[in-house]
Amino acid sequence: MDGNGLPLVTLITPGQAGDSPMFLPLMAQLRVGRDTGRPRTRPDAVRGDKAYSSRAIRSHLRSRKVKAVIPEPDDQKGHRKRRGSRGGRPVGLDAADYKNRNVIERSYCHLKQWRGLATRYDKHAVVYRGAVVLNAVIAWSRLLIAATPQGPAAS
């Protein structure tokens, strides 16, 4: 999701699959169009919760020069401190930027207002993905309608 809570990429996985293993495939699909030129594939920053604090994700973001706004879980802090100087530096966290993560959480709550998405009634993944994409189209169209100079009555 972007800074406004609008979805950028979707990926459907089994219900028992975790979120963080799907981070790298989602980043590989990320394309944000521009007015001119190729679409952007590298965001300025990634805000995530403690589940996304892994060595693989952090090194991937570091190699692409993307700012990671992900707090370090207490168990990782303990492992790092236990290793002493070999444990590495503490993870830097921009606390002010992390507070903006509530935009993402609110957009997930809005997504869960669709009963079929919240409970996964659909038998087939393609139907469920269609509902997710439809929800994204509605969210983006609301933004475009609000951005028009005269609002929705202009047409």
37-70 per-position pLDDT tens digit: 888 888 888 888 888 888 888 889 999 998 888 8
**Whole-number pLDDT of residue 127:** 82
Averaged pLDDT in 10-residue chunks for the chain of 155 residues: 72 75 86 83 84 86 89 80 75 79 77 76 79 82 73 56
pTM, 2 dp? 0.70
- Return the domain boundaries, the chain: 1-98, 112-155
14, 52, 124 from 18: Cα distances, Å: 9, 10, 19
